[in-house]
Amino acid sequence: MATVDKEIKEQSKKIEKVKKIVKRRAENLDSKDLKQTDISDGPLWRDLDFSHPERCVRIGTLFSGIGAIEHAFQRLKLNHKIVFAGDIEPKCKQSYFANYEIDGENWFTDIRNFDAKKYAGKVDFVVGGAPCQAFSMVGHRLGFEDARGTLFYEFARVVKETKPKVFLFENVRGLLNHDKHRTWHVMHDIFEELGYDVKFRVLNSCDYGIPQHRERVYCLGFKKATDFKYPAPIPLEYKMYDFLEDYIDSKYFLKEKGIKFVTSHKNREKCYTQINGEIALCQKRNQEFNWHGDFVYHPDSEITLSNDEFDEFIFDVRDVEEKYYLSEKVAKYVLAGGTKNFKTSTETDLDIARPLLQSMHKMHRAGVDNYVTHKGRIRKLTPRECHRLMGFKDSYKIVVSDTAAYQQAGNSIVVDVLIALLKQMDITQYGE
């Protein structure tokens, strides 16, 4: 938290200048209504072919993280060259260089010190998402008052200096309504002033093949006017379980305190977490340290009983808070076999859990909810599973600690959404 506060309170002549520019622009906005770009009603993007697969697309990325757009190009097997990339986080550089080919001289650390003029006319596609905490609905929402919010101007500056044929700017959906829509209005106007045909829309990753709720603004700028429309959603063919690993190290299982929090009535009611969900909650960069997010329930089994490695993650129900116990009256209802017209199972301690319901705190009959009479285990997602739920295939090398890996996955762009955009716009037509 200290680091975040420092970033927010950071002051410099450059930041103060940006704030004054933003304030002046916001006060002089016209009244035009900015509407999201339409969804395509033509051929589905999955069925589209690239028009010039032989061309090389020269890409430059800002706030590069772990290279979502680079991985998208890899997955599509498209001919491409990374012209420049950079990130202020040292461990991102470690991950990036382990997975992509780039000359060290073309990597920058701080975008505020990055002179992009030498790349003018040498890059076709510029991609980046300035840090979103300044506009996030779960952040401080200070926008341009936050030092991180002013980094948008650095993105715009690099676009101005490099003059790409197309750019992609990604951010949280909260950006659109921040400061009564004025923040986005200012950004949109700046992109247009740079000479680009601007398109934008909020897309959710679960509409493009990834079972995770993650809504983001995807803004595209085209140097030449275009009738581009955003890719249409496709049916979700996978559930979160399809992305899970077969063997999980014991360190990913929650201990007693974590289990009590995750399964508590208050936590379930406020939807801080979900257990065995079909569509993952939005990945968080700090999921290594808290109990919010997605968890997987592993019912007790013979393996558990014979494997000492998991002993510390098993606790007797006598140690569970009293409020989780069923009173004698409720127990009779829950474990009743039903009535003349309604029959239900009384089975508990199932080998495979029934679907966990958001309303489970209401304590339905045993045939609807899950009841454990002795032992059970709950675990969080592993770094590899988080990367899978961001669209990174297992070919992507995780070379950093779990802490850094969780943060990097949580900060990334969902690769599958990028793939849909690349196919819809036929990115190869902008190559050389």
Cβ atoms of 380 and 358 closer than 8 Å: no
Catalytic residue among 132, 206, 219, 386: 132
State how far the Cα of 285 lies from the Cα of 379, in Å rounded to an integer.
Answer: 17
How far from 102 is each of 76, 82, 99, 263, CA to CA, in Å? 19, 6, 10, 46
State how far the Cα of 396 lies from the Cα of 74, in Å rounded to an integer.
Answer: 10
Cβ atoms of 234 and 267 closer than 8 Å: no
Nearest to 284 by CA among 137, 140, 410: 410
State how far the Cα of 233 lies from the Cα of 252, in Å rounded to an integer.
Answer: 33
**Residue 296 backbone class (left: φ over 0; alpha: ψ -120 to 50; beta: rest):** beta
Cβ atoms of 67 and 233 closer than 8 Å: no
Name residue 359's amino acid: S
282 is an active site residue: no
Name residue 343's amino acid: K
State how far the Cα of 285 lies from the Cα of 290, in Å rounded to an integer.
Answer: 10
State how far the Cα of 68 lies from the Cα of 216, in Å rounded to an integer.
Answer: 14
Q: Roughly what angle, to the nearest 10 degrees, separates helices 13-27 and 182-193?
A: 100
Six-digit token string for 327: 């009173």
- Active-site residues, by number, are 132
